[in-house]
Chain A
Amino acid sequence: TQLLEQSPQFLSIQEGENLTVYCNSSSVFSSLQWYRQEPGEGPVLLVTVVTGGEVKKLKRLTFQFGDARKDSSLHITAAQPGDTGLYLCAGRNQAGTALIFGKGTTLSVSS
């Protein structure tokens, strides 16, 4: 069974701090995706990482895909209250037919 473990599960920080969220698995994924979800809304795709060792930047967000394609991380620099939300990593299942999601990291950034 493919599982994606995310840590930490909850994170509460002050505006301006940096943070890193981790997504780990014992399985190899052809790609991993990161989503952000706000309460009462559907998840919004932030990035897809495909190549082992790949690093992608999206403004203050930096995404990295592990060399073995089993893990990924999301680093936020100088967090802002607008970054508050549920961050989810997701990978395609073995059949390649659907996405499976990690349990998510709930981030709260206070001013």
Chain B
Amino acid sequence: GAVVSQHPSRVICKSGTSVKIECRSLDFQATTMFWYRQFPKQSLMLMATSNEGSKATYEQGVEKDKFLINHASLTLSTLTVTSAHPEDSSFYICSAKPPGIETQYFGPGTRLLVL
């Protein structure tokens, strides 16, 4: 149980285009989902916290107009990287937390490469 999936697993796009990444909790409802970014050989940096049905809370330094987060259902959150640039190339990881439980379950990550 407690499986989180991400789609796509990797994506290559041209500079200036937008990319949407999906995060799904497959066998539980997630009232809260988190989006992280990880550069090569570095740790996970929290980008934002999304709660189902409300606006996401962004960490300091993360542009909310560039990284659009939608958490429209209890099993799905999406991260859209708008007008992507090469510096947005990174490994994006989501995690999901069931209500009443502190444990977060992590997805397998999405590798984004912007050319």
Interface residues of A (CB under 8 A from B): 31, 35, 40-45, 48, 88, 92, 97-104, 106
Please report whether the interface of chain B is mostly helix, strand, loop or mixed according to DSSP: strand
- 15 A-B residue pairings within 8 Å (CB atoms): A31-B102, A35-B106, A40-B109, A40-B111, A41-B108, A42-B6, A42-B106, A42-B107, A42-B108, A43-B106, A45-B103, A45-B106, A100-B46, A101-B45, A101-B46
B104 at the interface (CB under 8 A from A): yes
- B32 — which chain A residues lie within 8 A by C-beta? 97
With A42-B107, A43-B106, A99-B104 given, is the CB distance from A104 to B43 under 8 Å? yes
- A42 — which chain B residues lie within 8 A by C-beta? 4, 6, 93, 95, 106-109
A28 to B56, CA, bound (A): 27
- B91 — which chain A residues lie within 8 A by C-beta? 40
Q: Which residue of B lies closest to A41 (CB)?
A: B108
- B95 — which chain A residues lie within 8 A by C-beta? 42, 99
**In contact, A104 and B103 (Cβ under 8 angstroms):** no
Contact count band on B? 20 to 34
B67 at the interface (CB under 8 A from A): no
Interface residues of B (CB under 8 A from A): 4, 6, 32, 34, 41-46, 49, 57, 91, 93, 95, 102-104, 106-109, 111
- In the assembled complex, the CB of A62 is this many whole angstroms from the nearest CB of chain B, namely 21
- In the assembled complex, the CB of B96 is this many whole angstroms from the nearest CB of chain A, namely 11
With A40-B111, A42-B93 given, is the CB distance from A101 to B44 under 8 Å? yes
A92 to B104, CA, bound (A): 11
- In the assembled complex, the CB of B15 is this many whole angstroms from the nearest CB of chain A, namely 23
- B41 — which chain A residues lie within 8 A by C-beta? 106
- In the assembled complex, the CB of B12 is this many whole angstroms from the nearest CB of chain A, namely 15
- B93 — which chain A residues lie within 8 A by C-beta? 42-43
A43 to B95, CA, bound (A): 10
A104 to B102, CA, bound (A): 22
